[in-house]
Amino acid sequence: MEIVLWVVHIIVAVGLVGLVMLQQGKGADIGAAFGSGASNTVFGARGSANFLSRTTAIFAVIFFVTSLSLAYFVTGKPASVSAVERAGTAETPAPAANPSAANEQELVKQLSDQLQKDKPAVPGGNVTADPGAAPAPAAPAAPEAPKP
């Protein structure tokens, strides 16, 4: 039943797109671009609907009914079981025990020592210059103020 509903839904969807593409809009003639389409109002009195618009309405109703039916079928099924749930929890290892306070303090000390080693040199601090490096250029002198 569900497969038949899917087939009908897809056929109706493709047919609906085709019918919409075949129809001509309200002022789609060349005269409407130059203002001669004044007989067609914006929300207009168009007269009776033609074959294409009636067929489009029927296809739209069928499309909505099949969409709602498919949604009903999908929500009526039980949820699938994942592979993890099928394997069971007995095979999963227990989480590692929390490290003791002494281990945590040792870890913090190691990390702080590592950060101190990797810390970049601060200007004006104890920085040993490379003996082969060129001396740093002197700062430029401040310009003189103009005389009035």
Residue partners of 57: CB distance under 8 A and separation at least 6: 49
Residue 23: pLDDT band (50, 70, 90) is confident
Residue 67's Cβ-count burial label (10 Å; 0-12, 13-18, 19+) is: middle
Q: What is the DSSP string of the chain?
A: -HHHHHHHHHHHHHHHHHHHHHSPPTT-SHHHHTT--TTS-SS----S--HHHHHHHHHHHHHHHHHHHHHHHHHHSPPPPPHHHHH-STTSPPPPPPPPHHHHHHHHHHHHHHHHHHPPPPTTSS-PPPTTSPPPPPPPPPPPPPP-
Residue 60: pLDDT band (50, 70, 90) is very high
Structure tokens at 144: 């003189």
pLDDT tens-place string over residues 135-146? 667 777 777 777
Q: Is the pLDDT of residue 121 over 80?
A: no
Tell me which of 41 and 106 has the higher pLDDT: 106
pLDDT score at 116: 75
CA 142, chain centre distance (Å)? 54
Tell me which of 4 and 33 has the higher pLDDT: 4
Provide the whole-model pTM.
0.42
pLDDT tens-place string over residues 68-84? 999 988 887 666 777 77
Q: Is the pLDDT of residue 91 over 60?
A: no
